[in-house]
Amino acid sequence: MSPRPAESDGADLVERTALAIRDLLIDGRLRPGQQLVEPALAAALGVSRNTLRESFRILMHEGLLLRHPNRGVFVHAPDVAEILDIYRVRRIIEEQAVRGAAPKHPGLAAVRAAVGQAVRLRDAGDWNGVGTENMRFHAALVALADSPRLAELFARLQAELRLAFVTLDSPEYLHDPFVDENRRIVALLDDGRMGEAADALDAYFTRSERTVLAAIERGRATRPR
Amino acid sequence: MSPRPAESDGADLVERTALAIRDLLIDGRLRPGQQLVEPALAAALGVSRNTLRESFRILMHEGLLLRHPNRGVFVHAPDVAEILDIYRVRRIIEEQAVRGAAPKHPGLAAVRAAVGQAVRLRDAGDWNGVGTENMRFHAALVALADSPRLAELFARLQAELRLAFVTLDSPEYLHDPFVDENRRIVALLDDGRMGEAADALDAYFTRSERTVLAAIERGRATRPR
DNA sequence: CTTCGCGAGTCGTTCAACGATCCACGCTAG
DNA sequence: CTAGCGTGGATCGTTGAACGACTCGCGAAG
């Protein structure tokens, strides 16, 4: 369709293609377990097979795609163990980021903003928006560590988690009950009581983990095998 | 040298090529800042340009290579800020892994083994070996968290750090004074005193960071600009 | 001494091709 | 009727060549 690769944007074609596929994934238009055949997808995206393969490399290293050698690449369908692993890493990173954050850290503004927006969206009934804002909230917490590497790692984790949510198509409502909790955390942070905020986060994670596991079990019962 | 890409091994050619380049990097045969010209390197490694480009993607995402759009890829030369960032992340990960480790964790065997081997190699005067064993030691600590994602992240960090050491060609002796400290840490772990072990690690990091920074300054003075 | 333009060197991307590998299906033998 | 055993089709893995686009250094013009 687009003979000219002048599709605008900033990065190179490979990166843009990876982005496009990422969108297809979180939109759920590519289902977990599904195979991504190279010629077909390349044609659909209007890029060459080589370019597509480079994009696959990126997404594989992000844990979103999985390659079976000589058989093709498939959308990764995370199992329980992997979801738990993601939460384990999140717990470590977020809690330490919060615990070690400087009082009056400039990044706190972003944290506040995310919570505020989430409250507004919840009152408007926009659950999808609440979910997005919740992710922003946690990313802002990690940003308090002032570590580019940690931030990037976390972004990847969030992408994986998103895919996991798609996998067990249990969407936004998972985030709803936590808005008030987030508000409490941000209050603690504004007060400079980082340790208590971290502890609150810890409780958050235990609860959130339980919720997710329940959703998994429920899904497994509904759609067995 | 190797016209036939039949170098065997397990993974696909792209992965093997990435490994080969990684080796060139930590061997110091590719100096930081140096450009990697695609046709030349492809010929040298006996792979096609497309394959090489896929390998580049991997290494770029690992932080070892850097791409200047439309100019080529270069060996990443980490600056002070980045080295500090690596240490920041290491501190968070390793300390939490240790703090949360179960007593009598099976992984402790690997930790003990690394320290024992380091002591032996030090007495034999094999500083290079001591350095390697030190890396193994820290990787074993991270493994105590039982998190594949954390382990993989840490492996990447170590690769980056290795590159950093090559950058300021200050090699193994950085690891020497820490062997005894490591021994103390493993003793604490065997005792089930995880908190104290984590605290010891914290001290280790502050000191190690200082040493590295000193080496950087020294390097900057020796070989300015 | 500064600026402009040009040419060489590379990158970015595509296309076509070919052997290798895997899988499903149908056929044969027991 | 069931268990193997080809065999063909689909797809991957990798290559080589091609061509426009971009960057940079260098020499000429002002």
pLDDT in tens, A46-93: 999 999 999 999 999 999 999 999 999 999 999 899 999 999 999 999
pLDDT level of residue B225 (50, 70, 90 thresholds): very low
Q: How confident is the model at residue A25 (pLDDT cuts 50, 70, 90)?
A: very high
Nucleotide nearest to B67 (CA to C1'): C11
pLDDT in tens, A86-144: 999 999 999 999 999 999 999 999 999 999 999 999 999 888 888 889 999 999 999 99
pLDDT at A7: 42
Question: Which residue has better confidence, B118 or A166?
Answer: B118
Distance CA B166, CA B170 (A): 7
Q: Measured in whole angstroms, how far is the alpha carbon of residue B108 from the centre of its chain?
A: 21
User: In the structure encoding, which two tokens stand for residue A196, read together?
Assistant: 């208590």
Identify the DSSP state of A101: P
Q: pLDDT value at position A222?
A: 61
- Cα dihedral A115, A121, A123, A125 in deg (nearest 10): -140
Q: Which pLDDT score is estimated for A217?
A: 78
- Band (pLDDT 50/70/90 cuts) for residue B208 is confident
Three-state secondary structure of A152-164: HHHHHHHHHHHHH
Q: At what angle do helices B80-99 and B127-143 cross, to 10 degrees?
A: 50
Q: Is the pLDDT of residue A4 over 70?
A: no
> How many angstroms away from the CA of A27 is the closest CA of chain B?
24
Nearest residue in chain A measured CA to CA from B12: A69
Domain boundaries for CATH 1.20.120.530 within chain A: 80-222
CB contact under 8 A, A145 and B92: yes
User: What share of chain B has pLDDT > 70, as a percent?
Assistant: 89
Residue B224 CB neighbours (<10 A) = 6
Candidates 3.40.50.970, 1.10.510.10, 1.10.10.10, 3.40.47.10; CATH matching B13-75: 1.10.10.10
Strand partners, A220: none
Instruction: Count the Cβ atoms, other than its own, within 10 Å of residue B66.
Output: 17
Listed range (A118-132, B1-15, B47-61, B92-106) with the worst mean pLDDT = B1-15
Q: What is the mean pLDDT of chain A?
A: 89
> How far is A202 from A141, CA to CA, in rounded Å?
13
Kindly indicate the confidence band of residue A3, based on its pLDDT and cuts at 50, 70 and 90: very low
Banded pLDDT at B212 (limits 50, 70, 90): confident
How would CATH label the architecture of B80-222? Up-down Bundle (1.20)
Q: Which of A12, A96, A157 sits opposite B92 (nearest CB)?
A: A96
| Identity of the residue numbered A13 | L
Q: Give the integer Cα–Cα distance in Å for A204 and B126.
A: 48
Q: Residues B51-56: contacts with CB within 8 Å, 24+ apart?
A: B51/B13, B51/B14, B51/B17, B52/B17, B53/A54, B54/A53, B54/A54, B54/A57, B54/B14, B55/B14, B55/B15, B55/B17, B55/B18, B55/B21
> Quick check: A148 and B57 CB within 8 A?
no
Identify whether the C-beta of residue B174 lies closer than 8 Å to the C-beta of residue B215.
yes
Question: Chain A residue closest to B96 (CA)?
Answer: A92
Residues A62, A161 contacting (CB under 8 angstroms): no
Q: Residue B176: what pLDDT?
A: 64
Residues 6+ apart with CB under 8 A from B203: none
Asked if B157's CB is within 8 angstroms of A14's CB, the reply is no
- Residues of A in Cβ contact (< 8 Å) with B157: 149
Contact A150 B88 (CB under 8 A): yes
Q: Are A156 and A103 in contact (CB under 8 A)?
A: no
Residues of chain B contacting A, Cβ within 8 Å: 12, 14, 50, 53-54, 57-58, 61, 63, 69, 85-86, 88-89, 92-93, 95-97, 100, 145-150, 153, 157
- Between CA B62 and CA B41 the distance in angstroms is 19
Banded pLDDT at A200 (limits 50, 70, 90)? very high
In chain B, CATH 1.10.10.10 covers: 13-75
Work out the average pLDDT over A3-17.
67
Task: Please report, to the nearest 10 degrees, the dihedral formed by the alpha carbons of residues A65, A67, A71, A74 taken in order.
Answer: -20
Please, what is the Cα angle at B25 between B23 and B26, to 5 degrees? 70
